[in-house]
Amino acid sequence: MKGTLWLAWRQQRALILTGAALLLACVAWVAFQRADMMSFIDDHHFKLCNGWDSEACPGTDPEQAQRLLADNNDGILALGTLSAALPVIIGIFWGAPLLGRELESGTWKLALTQGVGLRRWFTARFGLAALCSVLGSAVLAALVAWWWSPISNMLDGLYWHDGYIFNATGPAAIACALFGLTAGTAAGLLIRRTLPAMGTVLGVVVGLRFLLNTFRSDWISPTARISQGDAPRQDVGSAWSTGEFGFIDGAGRKQPIADACPWGEGLPDLKTCMAQKGFVGRYHKVYPSSDFWVFQWIETAVFLGLAAALFALICVVLRRRAVI
């Protein structure tokens, strides 16, 4: 290791080593907790449970299942929160000072006096930070998924569409970490002051997360599960329910329950409503658990696209300053 890469390591090694130590501590903690969880599962012969209906877990003691969830949910929530917050942490404490501190103090000029070009100096610094951010976020996301998977989508526990799981696992979590770093770097470059850049990246990353969480269900259309006649609807299971229920008439048209059988009409039950109004089936709109990957790849593309745009902006601004 020499030249600009050695300089980048010297300047960032405190962050890298601290992050690596914390990550190793998380690995040890999760390995211990998961081993204890798997021992409990084996001792009580648990079977896979999908959904919050205990009847979906034949042969499983509901009280022991609830104990299993209670013993592990808080830890998974804590780890998921850390993984979901990692892009913000990276953006604030790594991205914003990456250029902002150098520009604010004027120390970036020292590198140029050593015969190192501005873009080469930036590439080494940003490349090392990006590599460590991607690796660290990937390991943390994998730890959350590894611990959660044996009790995933089980009873009243954590489901794939919960923010503590969705935002903390999968490729979107890694892409968001890279976006956080790039957003922080761009803020530091444009604002040229570290503290204001930190505040800016906090607002940008949290704001984008909020928007994606709010409009996630608008990316794709839900699946309509249909039951014929007055047969019971299919259990929600591990799916994400939209809360949209309704009836289907003889022509195949769907009518929401609120419109088809509104409260206050004096109808004794839904079956009577179906018989009186000629409905031939019912529907329930859900996002099946397989849609997890569809949502993940969509949001991964959003984060990577924004990160690429910000990186291009950084390169343009640096080029102008190199010329000036």
DSSP secondary structure string for all residues of 84-122: HHHHHHHIIIIIHHHHHHHHHHTTHHHHHTTT--HHHHH
Give 183 or 16, the one with higher predicted confidence: 183
Cα–Cα distance, 184 to 95 (Å, whole number):
4
* pLDDT score at 323: 40
In 149-232, alpha helices (H): 163-166, 170-191, 194-215
- The answer to whether 188 touches 92, Cβ cutoff 8 Å, is no
* pLDDT score at 209: 95
Is residue 228 in a domain? no
Specify whether 299 is located in the same domain as 259. no
Is residue 234 in a domain? no
Which residue range forms the structural domain that includes residue 281?
240-287
Cα–Cα distance, 189 to 192 (Å, whole number):
5
Residues 108-141 as b or e (16 or more Cβ within 10 Å = b): beebeeeeeebeebbbbbbebbbebbeebbebbb
> Which SS3 state, helix, strand or coil, does residue 219 take?
coil
Mean pLDDT of 287-298: 95
> Total structural domains in the chain?
2
Is residue 230 in a domain? no
pLDDT exceeds cutoff 90 at 129 = yes
Specify whether 138 is located in the same domain as 37. yes
Is residue 250 in a domain? yes
Element (H, E) at 7: helix 3-44
* pLDDT score at 302: 97
Specify whether 184 is located in the same domain as 283. no
Specify whether 154 is located in the same domain as 190. yes
Mean pLDDT of 146-165: 92
Specify whether 131 is located in the same domain as 159. yes
Specify whether 132 is located in the same domain as 266. no
pLDDT exceeds cutoff 80 at 105 = no
pLDDT exceeds cutoff 70 at 200 = yes
Is residue 227 in a domain? no
User: What percentage of residues in the chain have a pLDDT greater than 70?
Assistant: 86
Specify whether 178 is located in the same domain as 251. no
What single-letter DSSP state applies at residue 231? P
Specify whether 9 is located in the same domain as 136. yes
Model pTM score? 0.88
